[in-house]
A and B are shown apart, each in its own frame.
Chain A
Amino acid sequence: MYYIEMHGHMVSRTTDDYREMAMAGCVAVSEPAFWAGWDRSSADGFDDYFRQLTEFEPKRAAQVSIKHVTWLCLNPKEGEDRRLAAEVLKRIPKYLDLSNVVGIGEIGLNRVTKNEIATFNDHVQLALDFNQLILIHTPHLEDKFKGTRVTIENLARSNGLKANRVLIDHAEEHTAGMILDAGFYAGFTLYPNTKVSAARAVDMIEKYGSDRVTVSSACDWGPSVPTAVPQLMLEMRRRGHSEAAIRKVVFENPLEFLMQSGKFELPRLGIRAAVPSATTVS
């Protein structure tokens, strides 16, 4: 079965990982900008990173026939530095017309500080100014519940924001309901130690349904599994869910979301870019 890896930090992975993903059915990877594990020293470092995301990674992915698209931002772990954030935000617009840039992300909060919230809101405004999709990181562990609540509260105050053009990722049992109830897409990220296992993700799909739900490996430089999405497919089959139900979560929902960018396409499968949606969910 074909699937779309909705959230993979492929700059941290090997070409062999791309190959394994392709052999497991991956036809596209969407790669949000994120934290390198250490703070970058200047906005120039982000320019280099954005070039890696928009020029180098698409070529690596194409070697195994995977479509690569990306999201740009200064990530939540560095959002406390308002001066750096302002400088990086100025540099993002020049990349937004590229055919492989599908939006602003992964933005959001880390420890839910006043500066992080200000940086988050600046990114949301940038996305609105340039009619971009938004991909949002929600905080880890004990900060997730508070961070998700504060994120949704701030989004509710953003004039002109369409909830169905926003994916709020790293959802768990105590945050999935509030995300979906507000009309956003909710993402479950499958990690071996933190966040969500394949079994728990399927439990949440059973509880909340699969509309506006995506799943991804969020593979990065830490403990993570690039082929976690196929593992979720196996878990759904193990419980007797239909192939159509699996395909909706791993292919159709991410496709539906990404197509709103007006850029995303999979020519190999006969899927061409569409005009951005004007539908408002809430």
Chain B
Amino acid sequence: MIKNGSCPLTTGQIIDEYFIENRTRLLELAAFLERIDRSADGVDARRDFRMTAFHQALHVVASNIPDKMDQIQLIFSDPTIEPREKLDAKSASGAWNPASEVA
């Protein structure tokens, strides 16, 4: 894998070019979490396996861990290798649910 220096832009140029759109994305993320806090039923979102993974991913975003993308992708991924016995759903949900693997 090629890493250092593979993007032609300098650090300053990357910040100049991409800061505004990523500032917007960060605000959208915060707004999403605030929206959940204002939910009609007030249920703790972390009871939902998708949001458990989401918060784990946020920790990686805020950390100094290299290969953030790989790490976050793996947080959301099914780590098992055994095939399912039969089709359980037509579509994926966005995060692996450990409870779904319990026989």
Contacts and interface: CB of A to CB of B under 8 A. Distances in A.
Nearest to B90: A77
A113 B2 contact: no
A145 B10 CA distance: 32
A20 interface: no
Given A114-B83, A174-B77, A140 B92 contact: yes
A111 B9 contact: no
Interface string A138-180: 0111111110011000000000000000000000111001000
Contacts of A141: 76, 92-95
B83 A113 contact: yes
B25 to A, nearest CB: 11
B84 A145 contact: no
B83 A112 contact: yes
Interface of B: 1-3, 6-9, 17-18, 69-70, 73-74, 76-81, 83-96
Nearest to B18: A199
B87 A115 contact: yes
Contacts of B79: 145-146
Interface in A97-152: 110-117, 139-146, 149-150
A117 B94 contact: no
A208 B69 CA distance: 14
Contacts of A150: 81, 83
Given A110-B87, A114-B85, A241-B8, 19 more contacts: A111-B87, A111-B92, A113-B87, A114-B86, A139-B92, A142-B78, A144-B77, A145-B78, A146-B77, A146-B79, A173-B69, A173-B73, A174-B69, A174-B70, A200-B69, A207-B1, A207-B2, A207-B3, A209-B2
A195 B73 CA distance: 11
Nearest to A149: B81
Contacts of B7: 203, 206, 239
